Each structure stands twice: as structure tokens, then as C-alpha cells.
Amino acid sequence: EAAVTQSPRNKVTVTGGNVTLSCRQTNSHNYMYWYRQDTGHGLRLIHYSYGAGNLQIGDVPDGYKATRTTQEDFFLLLELASPSQTSLYFCASSDATVSNERLFFGHGTKLSVL
């Protein structure tokens, strides 16, 4: 069964803080994604990657960096966190193309920036 694990589950930081969200998938999938969910917006794509060392910009990349260190691991970095980045963050993986595939999601990380 496809598995995507996010950590931490909850995170509280202050404005200007440095935060790293981690995602690991054991599906041997090529594609990994970071989304944020906010009321009224659905899930918006922040960054995605189609393999180790690759990074693609999503729809709402400002204020975020990401790094795909291995096929399994995809990190989302907030180097100067702001209150507008308070959100639910979801990681997902897929083994197909971006335009047409099934996604397997982690359970989410709740980030609060005070």
C-alpha cells in the first residue's frame, strides 16, 4: 500500500522563524508535491519535483523553498516564516505525469506562525 509520511504533524513558530516540513514516500514514485490548503482555496500547489535533485515551481511558491534530496524525501523550507503561511500543508506522491495521475497524500502538517 502506498505510503506518504509527513512530519511534524503540528508545528508552531514565530514570525521570522525557520521551519522545515518533511515528507517521505515509500512508493518508489517519481513525482512528489507540496500543497497548502486554506479555506476557500482548495489545495494550492507550492512546489513539486519529478526526481531527486529536481524542483519545479507551483502556483504559490513565494516564501517557500523546497529540496528533493532523494527519491523518497521531499522537504519544504520556510526560512522567514510569516503569519500568512499559517495553513495546512499536504505532501503527495505519484508515479505518473503531472497532468493525469493518482496522487497519494500524507495526513498533513498543521503550521501556525504567530
Partner 1 sequence: GDQVEQSPSALSLHEGTGSALRCNFTTTMRAVQWFRKNSRGSLINLFYLASGTKENGRLKSAFDSKERYSTLHIRDAQLEDSGTYFCAAEPSGSWQLIFGSGTQLTVMP
Q: Which residues bind partner 1 (CB under 8 A)?
A: 1-2, 33, 35, 37, 40-45, 48, 58-59, 88, 90, 92, 98-105, 107-108, 110
Decide whether 5 or 110 has the Cβ nearer to partner 1: 110
Min separation Cβ 19 and partner 1, Å = 18
Among 39, 28, 53, 50, which Cα is nearest to 88's? Answer: 39
Give me 94's grid cell: 505519484
Q: Which is nearer to partner 1, 45 or 77 (CB)?
A: 45
**For partner 1, the closer CB: 79 or 107:** 107
CB of 106 to partner 1, least distance (A): 9
